[in-house]
């Protein structure tokens, strides 16, 4: 596993025997092979690639400019696919085969989420790509894991895309919000990876039961959704109404 970042910190800073920080811009697809080669040169091999780069979004669907869709897919989809292909080629070239690739998706990749059209579309695309990879390589020993967190207490909301290019949402999360802590989410994701799980959903109630209902009982969910409305779904995510419609 290696740490990728868009920061400008010096390469290798904070290095120890088992940690190597390699700053990189994940949207610069041409740099992926060279960065990957540096990691292999440092450690001699790769056991697992965990893709965790991405941004969320808050916006009314019809107001989203196409450039935002493009920027969202460049970061949340194309960069992930490009780096994963580099890793898969590496794993497939090894005599012993095997290997493990993982990606952080979202419960928004399981069903349509209001006020996050570009983000939801990107996460659905991630599921399509990685499900296809899993089916294609099922007899090659390659493990493919999709991690689907619900609301987590980080600064993601302030950094989220909006409807306009170059704009950040700028709304802060609060420790009083009903969100899983980042530590707990990270721990559960690590458990999932250690056990080579294909897909895992990580969220507090009522988000997790809602996800199960939306996935396995869609008609019933539509009935309930028509009663509670899309604003209720937004409040489940953000603990507040953060988008004016």
Q: What whole-number distance in Å separates Cα of residue 217 and Cα of residue 205? A: 17
The pTM assigned to this predicted structure is 0.86
Residue 149 placed within a domain: yes
Q: For 48, how many CA atoms within 13 A lie in the half-sphere containing its CB?
A: 16
pLDDT given for residue 5 in this prediction: 33
| Residue in this structure with the two tokens 């019809």, named with its chain if needed | 62
3-state secondary structure 76-129: HHHHHHHHHHHHHHHHHHCCCCCCEEEEECCHHHCCCCCCCHHHHHHHHHHHHH
Residue 196 placed within a domain: yes
pLDDT given for residue 1 in this prediction: 34
CATH at 218: 3.40.50.720
Residue 29 placed within a domain: no
Q: Select the more confidently predicted residue: 22 or 13.
A: 22
Residue 26 placed within a domain: no
Residue 114 placed within a domain: yes
Q: Which of 239, 233, 197 is nearest to 116 (CA)?
A: 233
Residue 119 designated active-site = yes
Domain that holds residue 233: 46-238
Number of structural domains in the chain:
1
Q: Select the more confidently predicted residue: 86 or 239.
A: 86
Residue 18 placed within a domain: no
Residue 141 placed within a domain: yes
Q: Select the more confidently predicted residue: 144 or 5.
A: 144
What confidence tens digit (pLDDT) does each residue in 139-184 have?
Answer: 999 999 999 999 999 998 999 999 999 999 998 887 778 899 999 9
Instruction: Spot the catalytic one: 90, 119, 169, 232.
Output: 119
Residue 197 placed within a domain: yes
pLDDT given for residue 178 in this prediction: 85
pLDDT band with cut points at 50, 70 and 90 for residue 232: low
């Amino acid at each position: 596993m290696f740490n990728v970042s868009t920061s400008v910190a010096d390469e290798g800073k904070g290095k120890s025997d088992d940690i190597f920080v390699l700053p990189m811009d994940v949207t610069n697809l041409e740099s992926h092979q060279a960065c990957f080669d540096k990691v292999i040169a440092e450690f001699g091999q790769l056991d697992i690639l965990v893709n965790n780069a991405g941004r969320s979004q808050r916006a009314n669907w019809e107001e989203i400019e196409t450039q935002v869709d493009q920027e969202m897919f460049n970061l949340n989809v194309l960069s992930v696919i490009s780096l994963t292909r580099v890793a898969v080629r590496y794993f497939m070239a090894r005599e012993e085969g095997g290997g493990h690739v993982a990606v952080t998706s979202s419960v928004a990749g399981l069903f349509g989420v209001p006020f996050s059209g570009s983000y939801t579309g990107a996460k659905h695309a991630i599921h399509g790509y990685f499900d296809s990879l899993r089916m294609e390589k099922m007899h090659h020993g390659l493990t493919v894991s999709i991690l689907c967190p619900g609301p987590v207490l980080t600064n993601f909301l302030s950094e989220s895309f909006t409807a306009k290019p170059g704009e950040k949402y700028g709304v802060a999360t609060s420790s009083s919000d009903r969100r899983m802590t980042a530590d707990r989410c990270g721990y559960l994701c690590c458990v999932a990876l250690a056990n080579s799980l294909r897909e895992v959903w990580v969220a507090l109630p009522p988000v997790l039961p809602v996800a199960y209902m939306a996935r396995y009982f869609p008609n019933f969910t539509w009935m309930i959704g028509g009663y509670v409305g899309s604003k209720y779904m937004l409040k489940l995510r953000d603990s507040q109404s953060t988008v004016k419609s």
